Structure 1
Amino acid sequence: MTIGRFARLCRLSVKQLRHYDELGLLTPARVDAFTGYRYYTRAQARDALTIALLREADVPLPGIRAVLAAPDPTVALTTERDRLAARIERDRERLAVLTRLASGATHEITLVDEPALILAFESGTTTVDGLGATVGHLIGTLLGRTHAWRPPMWGLFPLDIADGMTVTVGAERVEGAAAGPGVTEPESGSGWRGWPVEPESGSGYAADPDPTFGPGSPHGLADGSQAGGALGCEVRATGVEPDSDSGSVSGFGPPGRGSHLAEPDSASGPSGPVRPTPAPLVLPATRAAVTLHHGPYNQLSLAYYAVLSWIHERGLRPVGPARESYLVTPGEAAPEELITRVVIPVEDPNSRPEPTPAPDPNRTEE
């Protein structure tokens, strides 16, 4: 039948059918070599209607081709449904951020002297999209090997979020202490305050109860830049000094190694390889801009936006890594009731230490 008649049969326009042909989605059954007229068959009606329906649902062209080519389109349709559901969830998160901005909610920011911290820690490399899952894995690993520790849990993140970044989680380990006030021991199988526990036996780690956990998943700012945190690759950004003997940074192993995670020791016990305890991570005392964020982790970008704006308005310079301490965590409260302390170390670019005078070569010892 002619393209016009086929279009009326499928409740489509001739223009749409020509467009589908140009895209390679629905080619005519026959094209007259002399006139160029397109002809279709009734057997093509289902594909034409399917294309129109999927285009209306904003399914991309590769997805439409997959549906049309599949003997059973169920799998391809399920994939597109999941993609759309994920996009809707992201749009809901963006809507919540805009709603909170429009409400005029503000973050109170203070300049404080943060004390030094000595943390048992785990680090890992991640992509932007995998940030939440990576942090959940690191927390599970850390809790699985730390007998007793003092809350809160800490997260360290680079100021520039990008694929290939290193992120770190840590906690103050309490050596040889029984559980008591201010000391926490892992609960069998359930972790602490909703965090997962990865047993050292190698049986895997419990899934993070909140897969959106992490610094904003990720920390997107209003200008499209990123802020958040992980232990950066630059040693000077952390203030951690190299070990004098080996030249390596405590907890990171020999220079050039991509992760601090310890290799299994060659010695084995009844339960398998023995994993040596990594050296602790030392975070130096620092002056920092600090705020409390009340709400889900996927809105942490609001806190970073407020703190970084406050820092720059006062002529200060942010210094990574950013630190987050999780005061109210998943398992204790609903996402809207979580409390996260955001700490961004700063330095005053106008404050310079007094130069040390050079020794006088003409001066003699008395």
Structure 2
Amino acid sequence: MDEELLSIGQFARLGRLSVKQLRHYDELGLLRPAYVDAGTGYRYYRAGQAREALSIGLLRSLDVPLPVVGRVLSGETGALESVRVSLEAELARRRRTLASLERVLAEGLPAPEVGLVREPGWRAAFVGERAAGLEDVGRATSAAVARLLEGVRGPVRLVGLFPVDVGEVVQVRVGLILEGDAKPGGGAEVGVLPGGMFARATHVGPYDQISLTVHAVLAWCAERGLAVSGPLREVYVSDPACTPVEELVTDLLVPVREEGERMGEERAFGVGPSRVEIVYERLGDRAAPPVLLIMGAGGQLISWPDGLCAALVGHGLQVIRFDGRDCGRSTRFDGAGEPDFGAALAGDLSSLAYTLDDLVADTVGLLDVLGLDGVHLVGASLGGMIAQAVAIGHPGRVRSLTSIMSTAGDRMTPPPRPGVPPPVGGPPPTTRELYVERMVAGAVTGGVAADVEAVRALAERVWDRGWSLAGMLRQAAAVIGSGDRREGLGGVAVPALVIHGAADAVADPAGGRATAQAIAGAEFLLVDGMGHGFPPGVWPLVSARIAALVERAERGQEEGRTSPLS
């Protein structure tokens, strides 16, 4: 054999690498053998290749990624200089970290000024990146920013979103507040950055030292019994391109649970075939029978009155309420635009962003994420239609069905009832104040006694969490073309209850009666003093009847499990 060739073992000793590393670098194309025996597969190297082997070893000792190692070895222009710049930046970061450690050991955590503020909701475009642990968050954030700002010119407002609890994989999201003509790049998803109550502090200094201020804010929240209710926000005030690293200003916002809230909101990822994100809230004992509340078009999880939810929990039930797709804090479909109702009603469904079947799939997908085999479904208005369709198409997931102020047909808004005042008209509200006043005016003219201040407070919360007229219209249009469900409801075998307000001006009570008649053994409850909503006076009756239905269904299931014939 050629004397210039060295076996892989001999070359490993010469190049200060292991045999395993040499095989790996061969597979990656970083360091190919000079010769491979076709019969045995043995690798042989020339002594002159030791230079490349030693270079790889030195670069890897500096934690240079293998793709970058390849660019350096190939002689790519500027590759080695980029390594030098990265190493110097990392060295500077480590020096800052060491200085911070010395300050923490000597003086304790920093004590920034922290206070509670209420922030409005903002339309924003989002890009996400996955970080391999906390040490990779900086890289992931920079990558997300680069994608988001691709092609964007002029000043922008950026917000980083980070989970408070960090695992082996950290999901990083960066949002671009949409103002003026800002058009994001990188395949950004347009949605709403929800408003609400936040603990706020300002960090001045390098981004890699923000964690110290975050710890101080979280400690401040813990001392005051404030529960964190969502991801941490970093609002980047300074432009790092023209601001010294020690002078960078970042506002930190930690969302906290509002006074009186019993549990924080949670986010389910990858829900259903559409892989949407659904924000939900669970109330009560998780060992109790689960009741899933599905609200109507544009209705957020808080549209289910807190008092009604508390009454259900008081009856020994676990309550789960959620923002459906296209509303509140769940995935938005703003890129789809508004539906053409005239064309859709005429049979052209091409303008619909999704259908009732998609909303059903989201509901079942949420049950999958939550690990719930079966639940007691309670749906209001469009939510009632969704609940009916789930009971028809997924009977094994439904223990009981309650349909409220809904219909079994394919029309979301039947003709107004004679003698009922027309709804409040006018152009769509474009500000928080206009929206709130519109909701108050609508409640006052609805024919049912309303607590104006309660309506006003709820409307403010709905706007801050991300109200969307287009989203409400897309939800409402989804039911068009879904067909008459009465035949399918005839096959529903679980206990069912249909509730309707006697003063409902949106969905005539006849629709509720028809729904009850379609389901064998269903109860029908017509409630005086109730329109197309849940005034406080009906909470005791509605909650008691739902609880009684759940108890009957649970008892029936238990008897079925213990029957000797089962």
TM-score, with normalisation over the residues of structure 2? 0.32
What's the TM-score, normalizing by structure 1? 0.46
Kindly name which structure, 1 or 2, has the bigger radius of gyration based on alpha carbons.
2
Q: Report which of the two has the higher share of helix.
A: 2
